[in-house]
Amino acid sequence: RSAPPVRTNPHMRKVDRAIEFAQGYEDDERRVERNIRAVQPACVWVNGASGVNLSADGAVLTNAHVADNLHAWMKVSFPDGSEYWGQCTAIDHNRDLAIIKLHNVQSALPYAPLASNKPGAGTPVVCIGQPDPSAGYENWHVSVGKIHENKRTHPWRGLGGVAHTAWTYWGNSGSPLFNYDGEIVALHNTWDSTTALRHAVPQDQIAAFLQWAGLHQLHVHRGETTG
């Protein structure tokens, strides 16, 4: 038998470009590049939007409004071009979170870890997601910003409790926000048209959701360095 073809990740260069040109850079550039490159392969396209894989056997975290319904099936694509079908096995519309369990996974997939604490105001973040290509944007787009504020919940319109300044567009729902250590600190879910701030579901709500879904052990895993 011949070995399966080695897949390449043509989107990895976007990490280096975004980090290099980030405004107000206050950290070791190479360390941040290394950490974000380690988790970029876990960022996925799902159901016309975004998500991030949390386990080697395929458990994709996204927004509930992306997954839509419990038991719904959808295609999930990784940045190296590999594709899987997955089914929504857990959903919480109040937190706007869902898990898509991938099927027919034959080998370990790249995955990213959840941070152990929620981010404070001013924390630099890196967002990786899938802005709508019909407007001329590329998938696996990388943007850099900061946490503006972090509340447990936002009082209206389904906005996630974390307000942030990383650039997003239609299709970025479900995009992970990474700290400079490559840990998920929030999951982007919408934006506030009155302030232009983007909003995301905070780390503590993600951890509570994983606990509720029986997947709390996932957040202690570290992302694989691939690509």
96 is catalytic: yes
175 is catalytic: no
Alpha-carbon span 127 to 15, nearest angstrom: 10
**203 token code pair:** 């780390």
From 11, 50, 55, 96, active-site residue = 96
From 50, 55, 143, 173, active-site residue = 173
164 is catalytic: no
From 65, 93, 148, 216, active-site residue = 65
- The 10 Å CB-count burial string (b at 16+, else e) for 195-205 is eebbbbbbbeb
Alpha-carbon span 90 to 85, nearest angstrom: 16
- State the DSSP string of 49-63: EEEEE-STT-EEEE-
Nearest-CA neighbor of 205 among 227, 180, 184?
184
Task: Report the catalytic residues.
Answer: 65, 96, 173
